[in-house]
Structure 1
Amino acid sequence: MMCSFLPSFCLLIAFAALGHAQEIQRKPLVLTKGGTPEQPAVFDGKGMVIDLGIDITGHDWLKDGDVWTSRGPLKGYPPVDDTQRACMFIDEAPVRVTRDRDAEKKTGVAKKVIYAAPKALQPGQMGWTEDGSVYFRWPKEKKPGEGRVIQPPAGLASGVVIACSHITVRNVTAIHAANDGFNIHGARIGIRLENVKAFSNGDEGISAHETVQMDVFDSEIAWNGSVSGGVADVNDSVTTYTNCELHHNVNAAFMFDGKSHRVTNCRIHHQDKDIVIRSPDVVVEQSGNTWTKE
């Protein structure tokens, strides 16, 4: 089990600031070449960091206490009506899109999007004005002006995309993706993640879809912005998580809606919920886990 919490994120940021160009990648990592059951392919990132974030701290913000507003639209930052994911980060902390559902309903217009007004925002929430300016209220754990404001890339890029079977991926960190940190779709089997970190991604840190079969070991999933949780494995996926640490993700540590899952010896802390099981047909085995809300 790795030592995590805020120091691990700060060390990551410090590492990036040192300018280790060979270790920091600013575009998604897409893995398409797998192996065989007898000889799986191995991708060892050796500490590689996939950081898709765009630092917009230095923008000329209009500042009204802890509510900051851009002066006009920001490049590559169009309004997002999807409240499933976070669309901004203050350092590690996700900032969530918030809509005024009552105001939308009163218009009588189908699919009308009205964001919560700046004064109505709770800490860690955001929206857009009609002219496309973005505004947000600083998270309660952050003092205004003392933190980096990070914009994920436009679109739905994930940090690491695994598009093959029979592959082991180890020692890779994915942060600030607009979508998932580690995203696996399709009929992929024999996926193994070892000592990976999924920090501060817009949607889940790790997410398996369709009929993916995956085993995750000794990994850390934290500060991800999905309303589902730090991990969301869905459809007919079959997954296991062993000796992992999950904390500070929005809502739950794990959300399972796949076929079957096993969580063993995982440490869960600073989470409102540990494991959410969406369907009664999902089989989830648990043993040796610990969960504390603080």
Structure 2
Amino acid sequence: MAASAPTMRPTLILALLLHIPLAARDIHVGKDVKTIHEAIKAALPGDTVHLEPKSYRDYAGFYGKKGEPGKPITLDGHGATLEGSDPLDPARWKETAPGLFTNDNLTRLDDATIGRWFFLFDGRMQLMGRTSKGKSDPLKKPEDLQAGEWTFVKDPTREKPPSRQIYGTFHIKLAPGQTLAAANIFAPVRSAGVQFGGDNAHLVIKNLTATHPYNDGFNIHGDCRDVVFENIRAIECGDDGISAHESAQYRVDGFVSIGNSTGICDTGTAQTSYNNVFMERNVGFDLYFLNKGRYRITNAVIFSSALNPFMVTSGADERCELEVDNMLFRRLKKPHKALISATSMIKATRLTMENIEFDMRGQSQLSNCVINGKAEPAGSTGADTAALMRLVPEAEAVGR
């Protein structure tokens, strides 16, 4: 009688399976999983999460998410927009005077959120002269509001220390006879479009727009390594278009920042690089770099109308460094100075600055730069402005 084949033990089968590489997967939101959160949570090294080219009232959160070297986890938006606002629910508001509508409990708030707040009136971002960084107008009294304006009245009696949560009433003014249901008003209810927390590594986020959160379009906290952003846009965000914090390290290739409180704001000990950048209509700052970070911008066009266009600053025991190569920085409003603080440094090559000059309190290394029509250092040829202008998207250049 022939001997039977030996039975393979389960532990040996498992050991062999562990050495078989798993094929990278494509995870489609809306087809394979319902939400962006579920897709990111399920993604393993080498996997790609796919969005549809549409608007999502959602955000993408990465919290301790890691791919592997050579096998990143990728989020490909395929042109998707992460929308941070939702339409107002008229049932939650009451008309307290002709055209004046109020809400005592719109959302959870703190002072920082109120400092970044806005409403969208029929698609128009209404900041009421306020910005998260820089000088802001005081909030109006409800009785002083004009049609298409809003305000917030704080109620300290409802606060519960040590919680930082604040309470109060939002007021919105509409034109006589207009109903809230017909006014097409949206409020920012999400804090970011893309958000990082904890330790993240080996990630790619691309082909994605973040718009209308009350904080940052791309809010990068914690520690991250080998993280790449490609072809991303931040449009009309309550705070920064993109912001690196703590010890984040990433690079961006293709970034558009329009109508945000700050175009780019990086801080802590972050190390970031931005290539192929276009900015306009930012409110508080265009470029704001702080603390002990090392930052780099290449191939950029910035049309500046912000209150404070350009700042590199650090504390007495810190050193902030910014490197610039091939950038056109054109100031569209009244002339303003770009501050480089006493403990900071800028290295610039092929930088053209128009209607703006340096307040150079720290160190600088300038090569082939043109500042308000003057070569720096004397005799240099300056930046190739024609080449820089080719970076401007055709749609953004029309009618300029």
TM-score normalised by the chain length of structure 1: 0.70
* 1:36 Cα deviation after fit: 2.7
Structure 1 residue 123, shift from structure 2 partner: 11
Displacement of 1:235 in angstroms is 0.7
Q: What's the counterpart of residue 218 of structure 2?
A: 182
Measured in 1, the distance between the counterparts of 2:143 and 2:305 equals 27
Contact 1:96 1:124 in 2 (8 A): no
The higher radius of gyration belongs to 2
Taking the TM superposition and a 5 Å limit, the aligned residue runs for 1:139-158 are 148-153=184-189, 157-158=191-192
Q: Residue 98 of structure 1 contacts residue 127 of structure 1 at CA under 8 Å; is this kept in 2?
A: no
Q: Determine if the alignment matches structure 1 residue 282 to structure 2 residue 341.
A: no
Aligned ranges 1:43-192 → 2 under 5 Å: 43-56=75-88, 69-73=100-104, 76-77=106-107, 81-82=111-112, 84-90=115-121, 91=123, 93-96=125-128, 115-118=139-142, 126-129=150-153, 132-135=168-171, 148-153=184-189, 157-163=191-197, 164-192=200-228
Superposed CA RMSD in Å reads 3.6
- Displacement, 1:278? 2.5
Name structure 2 gaps, 5 residues minimum. 1-50, 132-137, 156-167, 175-181, 333-400
Q: Which has the higher contact order (CA 8 A, sep 6+)?
A: 1
Matched to 1:278, the amino acid is T
User: Is 1:264 matched up with 2:288?
Assistant: no
Q: After superposition, what is the alpha-carbon deviation per residue over 1:174-201, rounded to whole angstroms, capped at 9, x for unaligned?
A: 1111221111111111121111111122
Shift of 1:203: 1.6
Q: Is the 8 A contact 2:117 2:188 kept in 1?
A: no
The residue matched to 1:30 in structure 2 has which SS? strand
Q: CA deviation at 1:165?
A: 1.2
CA distance in 2 between counterparts of 1:120 and 1:233 reads 37
Q: Which residue of structure 2 lines up, in the alignment, with residue 28 of structure 1?
A: 59
Alpha-carbon offset, residue 149 of structure 1: 3.0
Aligned residues, how many?
246
Alpha-carbon distance in 2 for matches of 1:63, 1:269: 42
User: What does residue 260 of structure 2 align with?
Assistant: 224
Q: Give the Å deviation of 1:53.
A: 0.5
SS in 2 for 1:46: strand
CA contact (8 A) 1:94 1:202 kept: no
Does residue 272 of structure 2 align to residue 239 of structure 1? Answer: yes
TM-score by length of 2: 0.53
Q: CA deviation at 1:284?
A: 0.5
Paired-residue identity, %:
24
Cα drift, residue 161 of structure 1: 1.5
Offset at residue 58 of structure 1 (A):
6.9
Question: 1:239-293 CA distances to partner (integer Å, 9 max, x unpaired)?
Answer: 1111111111222112111411011111111433442112161000112111223
Counterpart amino acid of residue 329 in structure 2: W
Task: Identify, as 1 or 2, the structure richer in strand.
Answer: 2
Q: Deviations over 1:86-128 (max 9, x none)?
A: 33234253515869xxxxxxxxxxxxxx943246679997422
Cα 1:284–1:147, aligned 2, differ >3 Å: closer, same or farther? farther
CA distance in 2, matches of 1:43, 1:78: 29
**Counterpart-to-counterpart distance in 2, 1:151 and 1:31:** 24
2:70 to 24, 33, 38: 38
Q: Which amino acid aligns with 1:38?
A: G
**What SS does the corresponding residue of 1:265 show, helix, strand or coil?**
strand
Q: 1:233 touches 1:255 (CA, 8 Å); kept in 2? A: yes
Separation of aligned partners in 1, 2:89 and 2:329 = 35
User: Conserved in 2, the CA contact under 8 Å of 1:88 and 1:96?
Assistant: no
Shift of 1:81: 3.2
Partner Cα separation in structure 1 for residue 130 and residue 144 of structure 2:
10
Q: Is the deviation greater in 189-198 or in 277-286?
A: 277-286
How far 1:27 moved relative to its partner? 1.8
| CA deviation vs aligned residue, 1:21-53 (integer Å, no higher than 9, x gap) | 873221221135332333333221111211120
Distance 1:98 1:174, change over 3 A: closer
CA distance in 2, matches of 1:260, 1:247: 24
